[in-house]
Amino acid sequence: MLERVDVVIIGAGASGGAVAWSLAETKMRIVCLEQGDWTKPTDYPSNGRDWEARQLAEFNYSPNRRARETDYPINEDDSAIRVANFNGVGGGTILYAGHYPRFHPSDFRVRSLDGVADDWPIDYETLAPYYAENDRMTGVSGLAGDPAYPPKQPMMPPLPLGKSGATLARGLNRLGWHWWPSDSAIASTDYEGRAGCINLGHCTGGCAQGAKASSDITYWPAAIRAGVELRTRCRVREITTNEHGMASGVVYYDAAGVEQFQPAEVVILACNGIGTPRILLNSKSTRFPNGIANSSGLVGKNLMFHPYARIYGYFDEVTDGYRGPGNCIWSQQFYETDPSRGFVRGYTYEFARGQGPVQAAIQGMGTGRIPWGEAHHDAYRKLFCHRTGMVGICEDLPEEHNRVTLDPILKDSNGIPAPKITYTLSENSRRMLDHAIARGTEILKAAGAHDIGSDPLILDGGWHLMGTARMGKDPERSVVNEWGRSHDVKNLFIVDGSLFVTSAGVNPTCTIQALALYVADNMKKRLATLFD
Amino acid sequence: MQNLTDDETRSLRCVAGMMIPASAAHAVPGADDDTIFADIVAGIGRDMAHVKQALHRLDHLAGDTFADRDLATRLTDIGTFQKDGGVELAALNRIVVQCYYRDDRVMRSLGMDVRPPFPKGFEVEQGDWSLLDPVRARPAFYRRTP
Ligand SMILES: Cc1cc2nc3c(=O)[nH]c(=O)nc-3n(C[C@H](O)[C@H](O)[C@H](O)COP(=O)(O)OP(=O)(O)OC[C@H]3O[C@@H](n4cnc5c(N)ncnc54)[C@H](O)[C@@H]3O)c2cc1C
């Protein structure tokens, strides 16, 4: 048996890094167990000419296609949307685009304002200082003064508008609709020892320059310097409990596949909206026959993705094409609820610049715009570097039938049951997606696009994983309390996207990390009475 | 991982050349060019099963090894195969274009620098930020909460 530690954190992704760093100042003995590896800057695809091919292979965002040793399989047969993630130090932030919007104040009051879902047990004001601290640790580029938000102050100037941004902004201005440079976790200038962005291309293969704030280069170096131990290639199977119903530690498989038991005073889960319920459900005992922390029966339920629609157009003028970063501008014209639209809640548009040469061919051929044969070359040249567009990120409402369970057959390489996702798209989401496509088409027309297309739902776009161990004050309606502690097991905490009560219509990571800092702060303030 | 058989390799080369033939007008080779095709075969990786299924389907349509049929038959079969679509077609497209569009000659013909993105990166112009003026003038419109 290994030596007992004060805190074991499971998962070294976005939230794991933030909670580790914040707790490090307590000088407690903290160990983090992460199933994946560190990624070296020289490993990233943009180091080579085959960068797009590698994004389709070992850097693919689908764990089932990537299928590295460090990945676990996911049964997605009953899901309208497929999961996207990365398993390694940095977690999903290794591949994320770095869109870094905060929630709006109204996102925490969904039941009170719109009569759907539930209110959060905390509000924007509570999280605001943690948003600010997280922005500083991460390094956010953007512009103050966005009328869609309460005041906030990014650290660095916005990423360039570029040709694509300017074209789209003109269209939005013609319609009189809101847009603003995106808050991005990408350094537009050198920041805290990290080099500024050099427009390598598309950020979702990982950033060789280190301009994109993945948590392996933001929180983790600081946490490790402050004394946290990070063990890679350690895959946790279950959380164990003692005779008092408290967590006693975790069982994991080390790099050699050997089973280990790590005893701990406190267990913190940071494995994301799929990985966390998977471990909870797999931690069964006589006292917790349906999995640990699950007296509410809500572990794994209320899974939310953000349904995404893609709307794109081709222009006579040249766009930014393969020159990045992908992030550019966003619009929140349709963010807040307007009942006349036929759905509740709303969505954000995030505008993309263009595509690399391989993606341009794949998408052009996939939609029949680029043929096989003689005509291929002319058709390709008309489209390459002439495309730009947007995605509409729709708020997904929690529904208990959308859920993570344990697959009875599928297992990972250590024999741990794999998660199975059951997810259907709601009528509200469908209407919102249709609205996003219709209005997005208007934007593109106003911007001068001559050939407009759309994907009604990005099927492999399940990159935001939320809601499967929600926070709340009522133990019957939530898994953890308003500061992240399990209602049932008083030394078990959750800090990742599972906590979300609702999903908002923006990317979640900035809120996930702010929540992790908030939970850590609450733990620090209560150290003497943490288990009361 | 399985490899392609000799017949499959010949058929794939044939398909690659039909998908993207050489073009004198654009001064580019076809995807069946020696260097590009070797790259394609080496890079099939995760798509091997679907590529084999695709080639099997083409053989089935051709009633023989696809590569051994005359051009007219092959064109008809490719037309049918493309109409049917599916993951096999997507896999064939992917494995061919992911190598074709990184070839020196092709990149040059597209006006691209023949190099990886890192470490030099690319220029992206700042753009005209005065476009933001009308939005700046707009009053805050987020919902206030009690
Ligand atoms: C392609 C892509 C683009 C994205 N773009 C954006 C974006 O622009 N903006 C945004 O806000 N978000 C984006 N996201 C989502 C973002 O990455 C996630 O929201 C964020 O990383 C989630 O943080 P987390 O801490 O909840 O989990 P993660 O970051 O996923 O970390 C979980 C970690 O736990 C580890 N783990 C899981 N199970 C175990 C186990 N049993 N034992 C040990 N370790 C385990 C995993 O290996 C992983 O490292 C994107 C994601 C992807 C994949």
Q: What pLDDT, in 10s, does the model give residues A376-408?
A: 999 999 999 999 999 999 999 999 999 999 999
Q: What pLDDT, in 10s, does the model give residues A314-346?
A: 999 999 999 999 999 999 999 999 999 999 999
Q: Contact at 8 Å (CB) between A443 and A454? A: no
Q: What pLDDT, in 10s, does the model give residues A39-55?
A: 999 999 999 999 999 99
pLDDT of residue A378: 98
- Does A44 touch chain B if contact means CB atoms closer than 8 Å? yes
Pocket of ligand 1 (CB under 6 A): A 10-16, 33-36, 61, 84-88, 91-93, 95-99, 204, 235-236, 270-272, 275, 279, 463-464, 496-497, 507-509, 512
Q: Please give the structure tokens belonging to residue A116.
A: 């759907």
Using a CB-CB cut-off of 8 Å, the residues of chain B touching A67 are 46
Q: What is the mean pLDDT of residues B8-31?
A: 98
Say whether A357 and B107 touch across the interface (CB within 8 A). Answer: yes
- Does A194 touch chain B if contact means CB atoms closer than 8 Å? no
| Long-range contacts (CB closer than 8 Å, 24 or more residues apart) made by B65-70 | B65/B7, B65/B10, B65/B11, B66/B11, B66/B14, B66/B15, B67/B7, B67/B10, B67/B11, B67/B13, B67/B14, B68/B10
- Does A48 touch chain B if contact means CB atoms closer than 8 Å? yes
pLDDT of residue A412: 98
Q: CA-nearest residue of chain B to A53?
A: B98
Q: What pLDDT, in 10s, does the model give residues B59-86?
A: 999 999 999 999 999 999 999 999 998 9
Q: Which residues contact B23 (CB under 8 A, 6 or more apart)?
A: A374, A377, B30
| Residue from B1, B50, B142, B144 to probe the interface with A (highest A Cβ count within 10 Å) | B142
Q: What's the CA-to-centroid distance between B68 and ligand 1, angstroms?
A: 49
Say whether A357 and B134 touch across the interface (CB within 8 A). Answer: no
Domain ranges of chain A: 5-46+55-529
Say whether A361 and B93 touch across the interface (CB within 8 A). Answer: yes
Superfamily grouping for domain A5-46+55-529: FAD/NAD(P)-binding domain (3.50.50.60)
Strand ranges across the sheet with A75-79: A75-79, A417-423, A403-411
Task: Name the pLDDT band for A430 (thresholds 50, 70, 90).
Answer: very high
Query: Which residue reads 């943690």 in tokens?
Result: A130
Q: What is the mean pLDDT of residues A421-434?
A: 98
In the predicted structure, residue B121 carries a pLDDT above the cut 80: yes
Q: Which of A237, A236, A294, A246 is nearest to A469 (CA)?
A: A294
Q: What is the mean pLDDT of residues A23-35?
A: 98
Using a CB-CB cut-off of 8 Å, the residues of chain B touching A336 are 141-143
Say whether A166 and B99 touch across the interface (CB within 8 A). Answer: no
In the predicted structure, residue A186 carries a pLDDT above the cut 70: yes
Counts for chain B of helices (H) and strands (E), in that order: 7, 0
Cα–Cα distance, A376 to A378 (Å, whole number): 6
Say whether B132 and A180 touch across the interface (CB within 8 A). Answer: yes
Q: Please give the structure tokens belonging to residue B123.
A: 């220029």
Using a CB-CB cut-off of 8 Å, the residues of chain B touching A52 are 98, 101-102
Cα–Cα distance, A108 to A103 (Å, whole number): 8
Phi-psi region of A252 (alpha: psi -120 to 50; beta: other; left: phi over 0): beta
By Cβ distance, the residue of A108, A160, A201 closest to B125 is A160
Q: Which residues contact A286 (CB under 8 A, 6 or more apart)?
A: none
In the predicted structure, residue A122 carries a pLDDT above the cut 90: yes
Using a CB-CB cut-off of 8 Å, the residues of chain B touching A357 are 101-102, 107, 110, 112
Could you give the C-alpha distances from A103 to A95, A332, A335, A497, A511, in angstroms and in order? Answer: 21, 12, 11, 13, 7
Cα–Cα distance, B145 to B48 (Å, whole number): 55
Mean pLDDT of chain A: 98
Q: For the whole model, what pTM was predicted?
A: 0.98
Q: What is the mean pLDDT of residues A178-192?
A: 98
Cα–Cα distance, A468 to A96 (Å, whole number): 21
Q: What is the mean pLDDT of residues A506-531?
A: 98
CA–centroid distance for B72 within its chain = 24
Helix/strand/coil for B1:
coil
- How many percent of chain A have pLDDT more than 70? 100
A87 Cα nearest atom in ligand 1: 47
By Cβ distance, the residue of B90, B116, B143 closest to A113 is B143
Helices A376-383 and A357-366, interaxial angle, to 10°? Answer: 110
Could you give the C-alpha distances from A414 to A72, A235, A273, A484, B56, in angstroms and in order? Answer: 9, 8, 21, 29, 35
Q: What pLDDT, in 10s, does the model give residues A148-162?
A: 999 999 999 999 999
Q: What's the CA-to-centroid distance between A272 and ligand 1, angstroms?
A: 6
Say whether A180 and B20 touch across the interface (CB within 8 A). Answer: no
pLDDT of residue A202: 79
| Chain A nearest C-alpha distance from B122 (Å) | 5
Cα–Cα distance, A267 to A285 (Å, whole number): 17
- Does A56 touch chain B if contact means CB atoms closer than 8 Å? yes
pLDDT of residue B1: 65
| Residue from A204, A376, A388 to probe the interface with B (highest B Cβ count within 10 Å) | A376
Q: Amino acid identity of A335?
A: Y
A237 Cα nearest atom in ligand 1: 41
Q: What pLDDT, in 10s, does the model give residues A265-306?
A: 999 999 999 999 999 999 999 999 999 999 999 999 999 999
pLDDT of residue B146: 77
Q: What's the CA-to-centroid distance between A331 and ligand 1, angstroms?
A: 25
Using a CB-CB cut-off of 8 Å, the residues of chain B touching A47 are 116, 118
- Could you count the other beta carbons within 10 Å of the beta carbon of residue A165? 31
Q: Contact at 8 Å (CB) between A24 and A9? A: no
Out of A87, A390, A416, A510, give the residue to mutate to test ligand 1, the one with the largest number of ligand atoms within 8 Å of its CB: A87
Cα–Cα distance, A243 to B62 (Å, whole number): 69
In the predicted structure, residue A85 carries a pLDDT above the cut 70: yes
